[in-house]
Structure 1
Amino acid sequence: MDNVTIVTGGSRGIGAATCVRLARDGHRVVVGYRSAAHAAHQVVDAVAGAGGQAVAVQADTAVEDEVVALFATAADQLGPVTGLVNNAGIAAPLTRLADVDTADLRRVMDVNVIGAFLCARQAARVMTAGGAIVNVSSTAATLGSPGNYIHYAASKAAVDALTLGLAKELAADGIRVNGVAPGFVHTEIHEQTGDPDRAANVVSRIPVGRLGNPEEIAEAIAWLLSPAASYTTGATLRVAGGL
């Protein structure tokens, strides 16, 4: 199959690692980004270095018109979209729910929930049989994250529900929908919590005794998009070192 895959939040962390990993499987990749243009173009260069083809496309996934334009640009520049990695997401300052700022709450829900749904909806509109979607969730969805960011955990639980429901809805169309739920991973997202050392400080809670790497999450995403996962839909694969 001629694969053209959009990776939202593709300029950093798990998204960037996924772009490079998919290129090794022959995907032409759209590196979606909101504001980090320089980093996104560095990912494009890394994909080229891996022997692949990529373009960087700016889009705020929480804005409907920009999501539609993202998919249209992907199709115009690389061909019909066959894959979506719904990865764009944000965290928020660590706090108890009683102290959450309403603006932070709305932004987390806008990006992590509305953005994920808008991208999944557009994928459902344009994909044909053989297409695949992978939603990037989090172990927070099942742990709840009390005292830290319940609102972030709730946003990722919504992503899990999206994965399950849309998988059943699109199965007859030959489109698979799955999720990946990372645990604590070496990425920049922890800086958004106000505690950039948080991930390192929770290593003692992780059964395997270390943080994950973005490349390990990218491997799971690549498998779920591949023909090897042809009988897998509606699943959320936990890649979290035992958490």
Structure 2
Amino acid sequence: MGDLTGRTALVTGAGRGIGRAIALRLAADGARVGVHYGTSADAAAQTVAAIEAGGGQAFGFGAELGVPGDTAALWAAYDRHADGVDILVNNAGVLGGRTPYELLDAASYDHVFAVNTRAPFFLIQQGLSRLRDGGRIVNVSTRFTHGARNPDLLAYTMSKAALDALTATLAKQLGGRGITVNAVGPGATDTDMNAARLGTEQGRAEIAALSPLGRVATPDDIAAVVAFLASPDARWVTGQWIDASGGSLL
């Protein structure tokens, strides 16, 4: 507790899953957390309530990503609650379904890139004047960009690979301000996104077997890695993609 006292964090897609776990963890470490949601105000309110119940500080605000004017609307909503940001976590993302490459249509492809790639790009760009020196940017990527190929998730993987490229490039550009930029690559995690596969005994066993640790990741596992990158202890780590898949790429 206390490493992030006095700092303000913004976590996109923080109403559920990994985003909620990240928001809860950053708040537990002392940050005041902006809990962003796209369409589910109730879920974000539950995250805020959980933070406040634990003695932390948080505020919820909404802005749909992947539509025209999305990031400007997000910052406008955020600015009503805070006058700057120290930690920006680009967590919001869409899988876009598990669709064979041959059947993927242009509208689905465009939506995946609009949410997973374009939104973080312009959220950071438009947030630079708000991001304080010595700040942290953490982008939630995926293990699929580093050797774990799935042709039915090709658009998703491509969108996150672009996010990895953004991470490394911005780390060089923003280093002069003491701002670190890193990406975290989870594997299959016990969230709504993977509910169908994890809902069967066979599916859960298959996913658990991917990791030498022999279990399925929880959102808290990923949040702990993000919390480290957001902390003062990670001051000398930047431009990196951190494997948060439980060693599934070994």
Distance 1:89 1:226 in 2: 23
Helix, strand or coil: the match of 2:69? Answer: helix
Could you list the per-position Cα deviations for residues 98-157 of structure 1 after superposition, in whole angstroms to 9, with x for gaps in the alignment? 111222111111101111212121232321311110000000112353332111111111
Query: What residue identity is the alignment partner of 2:84?
Result: P
Contact kept, 8 Å, 1:124 with 1:170, in 2: the verdict is no
Relative to the length of structure 2, the TM-score reads 0.90
1:1-243 counterparts in 2 under 5 A? 2-63=6-67, 65-143=69-147, 145-190=149-194, 197=199, 200=204, 201-243=206-248
How many angstroms does 1:49 deviate by? 1.3
Distance 2:150 2:21 in 1: 29
Pair 1:157–1:197, CA change in 2 (3 A)? farther
Could you list the per-position Cα deviations for residues 53-84 of structure 1 after superposition, in whole angstroms to 9, with x for gaps in the alignment? 11111112334633223234334313311110
Distance 2:138 2:37 in 1: 17
Contact kept, 8 Å, 2:21 with 2:219, in 1: the verdict is yes
Query: What residue identity is the alignment partner of 2:211?
Result: I
More displaced 10-residue stretch of structure 1: 167-176 or 199-208: 199-208
Where structure 2 has 5 or more consecutive residues not aligned to the other structure, the ranges are none
Distance 2:231 2:242 in 1: 14
Pair 1:176–1:115, CA change in 2 (3 A)? same
Helix, strand or coil: the match of 1:143? Answer: coil
Contact kept, 8 Å, 1:62 with 1:118, in 2: the verdict is no
Pair 1:106–1:93, CA change in 2 (3 A)? same
Pair 1:64–1:80, CA change in 2 (3 A)? farther
Contact kept, 8 Å, 1:61 with 1:116, in 2: the verdict is no
Where structure 1 has 5 or more consecutive residues not aligned to the other structure, the ranges are none
Contact kept, 8 Å, 2:62 with 2:77, in 1: the verdict is no
Query: What residue identity is the alignment partner of 2:106?
Result: T
**Percent identity (aligned):** 37
Query: What residue identity is the alignment partner of 1:47?
Result: I
Relative to the length of structure 1, the TM-score reads 0.92
More displaced 10-residue stretch of structure 1: 138-147 or 109-118: 138-147
Distance 2:198 2:112 in 1: 18
Contact kept, 8 Å, 1:61 with 1:119, in 2: the verdict is no
State the number of aligned residues: 241
Distance 1:5 1:64 in 2: 24
How many angstroms does 1:195 deviate by? 5.2
Helix, strand or coil: the match of 1:82? Answer: strand
CA-based RMSD of the aligned residues comes to 1.9
Distance 2:191 2:213 in 1: 18
Helix, strand or coil: the match of 2:175? Answer: helix
Helix, strand or coil: the match of 1:125? Answer: coil
Query: What residue identity is the alignment partner of 2:244?
Result: V
Helix, strand or coil: the match of 1:180? Answer: strand
Contact kept, 8 Å, 1:28 with 1:78, in 2: the verdict is no
Distance 2:157 2:68 in 1: 23
